[in-house]
Amino acid sequence: MLFPDLRTPLLWALGFGLAAALTTAGIERTRASAARAEASAARKELANLRATAAEVARLAERAARNTEQTWRSRVDGVIQDGQQQIARARDDADRAGAAERRVRAQLDAFRSSVRAAGAAPTTAGGGPPAEAALDLLTDLLGRSGAALRELGQFADAAHTAGITCERYADATNR
């Protein structure tokens, strides 16, 4: 036997190589399975995060809509109240105008009676005619009435607008 039998060590080497290859394949298969499990868990976690984010966004939108609805109802109330105040101010102005017209009518009637009395023959020792003073009073009353109406309308509008603005700001800051 010149040549030793090489089959046995070669078979052993092939056996060890095959065992090493199978072991390596098993390890890689286990690693791949673990990687797939990790990927699946990551996908599930990502899906849960997305669902949570969508729910948070939905709740935030609902809260914003509720806040907006609350503000809108408060603002509508403020607007209605402001409109009622304007209507009351107009009614007050109309009543004041009617009162002014009544005073002016009374003054005109008084002035007519003074003129009629001035046209009658005077008694001895009578005073100066009152017509000039009465005309001045009537003129002043007419001018002041118009100016006071304008001033009152401006004051009522400014007051109502200011109160409405403050209430609007209060309604949206709560």
| pLDDT by 10-residue block (mean), the chain, 174 residues | 66 88 91 93 96 97 94 89 87 86 85 75 55 77 80 85 84 76
* The predicted structure's pLDDT at residue 65: 95
* The predicted structure's pLDDT at residue 24: 92
* The predicted structure's pLDDT at residue 61: 97
* The predicted structure's pLDDT at residue 79: 87
CB 160 within 8 A of CB 82: yes
CB 167 within 8 A of CB 85: no
* The predicted structure's pLDDT at residue 5: 66
Summary count for the chain: helices (H), strands (E): 2, 0
CB atoms near residue 100 (< 10 Å)? 17
pTM given for the model: 0.55
